[in-house]
A and B are shown apart, each in its own frame.
Chain A
């Protein structure tokens, strides 16, 4: 399911037009990313938690050049599905 299919599905289910659904989706995502940037844990019942996690720096060996590289630390979004979602999709 790509973005287009997702939006059409969302519009039929929510009753908004595709354009409106798109607009609302954008806003939702914007709010979500703002919250994540602030370091908040976004918890959605029945779906899961979205959280920003810090990945420590690490040393890796480039498979091409065989050189050791120091990969800097970074922040990523991690998703932890809720148990109910897990059970649903098993």
Chain B
């Protein structure tokens, strides 16, 4: 990789492939490139099939400025050599990236999205690691966050829909539990009356329904949860349940002979089937926990993204109309956004009131926690006041109102930790910084 391949190596390989003498091959390769040069001299264009087109392009003379002295000087017009690779060569070289296609960007995709994708892209792919990159192919999935609204939302109804059947499930599970108990009770009642010989038969009958109720339990479970593991434990539960009656049958006659009689074995299957159902419930609970974890992680990602999303609500309105869930989610997020700064305000406000009287007599005792604009003429001393941004207002407009110049916008953006001053949501509570000129003299 990335080695230098010289004319000599080329000649060697050529000699090998064509069965030529080394010096013959070398002279041919020399002539090959010489001819291209000659052709450029003669016609200003050389087309070589399979390689590409070399072209001489005239560049007009232009004025430039000497970087060191600031003097203006003229760059003479000259010929520039351009090379356009042939399609076949282009495709061959680009083969590692051939699966990429140009994508139409949605209106709501901002530059920040792309930067974020870039960052992820670079994290996952070392620039030179083409082979790893090919193996991973992270690009296509990484594009999905670029168009976050569409792919993310369909997942949500699914998540919302799932808990409902889950809630029903325990009920469904409990019911069958109750059912097998009741048929056995009559048998238990019947037993004292009926002679010993009949009891196994009586037990057999309730045992069969005991197995059956388990089966319906597995059924609601399967459609509710797409998880494959679920049916398997349910089946084992059914199996153990079916094996139980056998145990009961075996034990029964003995019990009957001894005399404590059915009272003992009726609770037994009950608790054991209950255990099975408990296992089911536990599995369901585990899955719910997993889903919750997934949801939490998803919301973390989403809320961090949506910090600028509301500002583009204009553009995304049509998306929201299509999918109702977006509105709910986005409603929640701005609230968070608003509450967060509010929570911070009193602190910083208090800090300001305390710091201010001290700051006035003593020069430039600035809280080191406040971020300062690098290269700016002013220092941010504290919070002057807060302002809730209305629709149609930008930080620039606010800057003009408070400081008389739109160029002060970066201070507000910095103080409020806004990465992109052009993308601020209406309703955002802004802290207007108190500014102080850095150097008085």
Contact = CB atoms under 8 A, between A and B. Distances in A.
Contacts, number: 170
A14 to B, nearest CB: 4
Interface string A1-21: 111011001100110100000
Contacts of A46: 33, 37
B4 interface: yes
Contacts of B50: 25-26, 29-30, 33
B147 to A, nearest CB: 10
Contacts of B42: 1
Contacts of B6: 43-45
A54 B105 CA distance: 22
B38 A14 contact: no
A71 B97 CA distance: 12
Nearest to A65: B104
Among A32, A59, A69, which residue has the most Cβ atoms of chain B within 10 A? A32
Interface string B92-130: 111111001111110001000010000000000001001
B78 interface: yes
A37 B92 contact: yes
Contact of B41 (A26, A52, A79, A88): A88
B27 to A, nearest CB: 7
Contact of B93 (A23, A26, A43, A77): A77
B47 A2 contact: yes
Contacts of A86: 81
B359 interface: no
B181 interface: no
Tier of interface size on chain A: 35 or more
B79 A90 contact: yes
A28 B101 contact: no
B435 interface: no
Given A27-B14, A69-B103, A79-B83, A88 B90 contact: no
Given A1-B47, A40-B2, A9 B37 contact: no
B416 to A, nearest CB: 27
Contacts of A29: 48-51, 89
A89 B96 CA distance: 35
Nearest to B114: A59
Interface string B1-24: 111111100100110011000000
Interface string A27-65: 111111101111111111111101010100001000000
Given A10-B35, A88-B41, A72 B28 contact: no
B211 to A, nearest CB: 58
Given A9-B38, A28-B10, 9 more contacts: A6-B36, A6-B46, A10-B35, A35-B5, A40-B5, A46-B33, A68-B104, A68-B109, A75-B93
Nearest 4 A-B pairs (CB), nearest first? A72-B100, A79-B83, A1-B39, A77-B85
